[in-house]
């Protein structure tokens, strides 16, 4: 009975969180609903048996069913890894999360906290133009650029980007240095 109530409450809370706009809340909703699913898996093995399920550790009729426990372990790992990925998605852009304000977006604030003016998020990654403005580093093939021989790791930080400002976020490129003074 208590498991049934717990599953119901967790699911209700998860559904409420799914209805929210921000990604972080949706991720929290998924954390809750995977708990609900795990509890159901436990319940499927009948929780009345509480014995340790080792061979030779007592009466087999009292031992717990090991299979649902194995299921739950697997499901926890999978849900955890995907939650991590979703949390990453929540902070990779300066738009379309909980806030429409680029200034207050997680990506911008994180980059500013680190004083990392070379962070792509600092200049504003919008999902509309698909442009990523960075000044140096490696492209995704592993080649260093611009104009560096491949194999050289990126070394000294370059000057702030001189890219043309975005139409959607003109303030993004305008304040290239402010992060260091915060």
Partner 1 sequence: MIQTLPALLPLLVAVPLLLGAVGVAVRKKRIIRHVLSLGTLIAMFGFAIVLVIATSDGSILAHQVGLWDQGIAIPFVVDSLSALVLMVMIVLAIASVLFAMATHEARARFFHPFVLILMAGVSGALMTGDIFNLFVFIEVMLLPSYGLLAMMGAKLGAHGARIYVSVNLLASTLLLVGIALVYATAGTVNLAELHGAAKDDPAVALAGGVVLTAISIKAAVVPVHGWLTRTYPMTSPAVTALFSGIHTKVAIYAIYRIYSLLFDGDERFLWVALVITSVTMLVGVLGAVGEKTTRSILVFHMISQIGYILIGVGLFTMLGLTAAIFYLLHHMIVKASLFLSTGAIEETYGTGEIDKLGGMLKREPLIAVTFMVAALSLAGLPPFSGFVAKFAIIQATLAESHYAVAAVAVVVSIFTLLSMLKIWTGVFMGAEPDDLQERALTYQQRMHGKRYLRVEAQAETPTLTVGPPTATTSAVLAGKQAVKVPLKLIMPGILLACITLFFGLGAELLMGWSATAAENLLNPMDYVRAVNGA
Applying CB under 8 A, which of residues 59, 100, 140, 156 lies at the interface with partner 1? 140
Applying CB under 8 A, which of residues 52, 85, 152, 180 lies at the interface with partner 1? 85
Applying CB under 8 A, which of residues 141, 155, 177, 182 lies at the interface with partner 1? 141
Determine the Cα–Cα distance for residues 181 and 29; give it in Å rounded to an integer: 37
To partner 1, the closest distance from the beta carbon of 53 in angstroms equals 14
Nearest CA among 110, 81, 79 for reference residue 93: 110
Q: Are 98 and 23 in contact (CB under 8 A)?
A: yes
Q: Please identify, using beta-carbon distances, which residue of 128 and 180 lies nearer to partner 1.
A: 128
The distance in angstroms from the start CA to the end CA of the chain is: 53
To partner 1, the closest distance from the beta carbon of 181 in angstroms equals 27
Determine the Cα–Cα distance for residues 28 and 13; give it in Å rounded to an integer: 10
Burial code (b: 16+ CB inside 10 Å, e: under 16) for 67-76 equals ebeebbeeee
User: Per CB under 8 A, which region of 98-106, 126-134, 152-160, 174-182 contacts partner 1?
Assistant: 126-134
* Dihedral sign computed on CA atoms, order 7, 66, 79, 114: positive
Chain residues binding partner 1 by CB under 8 A are: 18, 23, 26, 30, 33-34, 36-37, 40-41, 43-45, 67-68, 71, 74-75, 78-79, 81-82, 85-86, 89, 92-93, 96, 125-134, 139-142, 145-146, 150-151, 163-164
């Amino acid at each position: 009975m208590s498991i049934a109530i717990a599953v119901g409450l967790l699911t209700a809370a998860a559904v409420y969180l799914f209805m929210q706009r921000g990604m972080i809340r949706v991720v929290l909703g998924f954390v809750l609903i995977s708990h609900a699913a795990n509890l159901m898996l436990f319940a499927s093995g009948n929780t009345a048996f509480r014995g340790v399920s080792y061979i030779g550790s007592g009466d087999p009729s009292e031992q717990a069913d090991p299979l649902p426990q194995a299921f739950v372990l697997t499901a926890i790992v999978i849900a955890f890894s995907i939650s991590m990925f979703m949390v990453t998605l929540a902070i990779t852009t300066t738009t379309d999360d909980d806030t429409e304000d680029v200034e207050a977006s997680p990506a911008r604030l994180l980059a500013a906290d680190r004083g990392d003016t070379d962070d792509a998020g600092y200049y504003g990654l919008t999902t509309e133009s698909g442009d990523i403005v960075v000044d140096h580093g490696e492209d995704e093939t592993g080649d260093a650029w611009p104009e560096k021989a491949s194999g050289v790791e990126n070394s000294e930080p370059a000057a702030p980007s001189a890219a043309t400002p975005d139409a959607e976020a003109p303030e993004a490129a305008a304040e290239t240095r402010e992060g260091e003074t915060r």
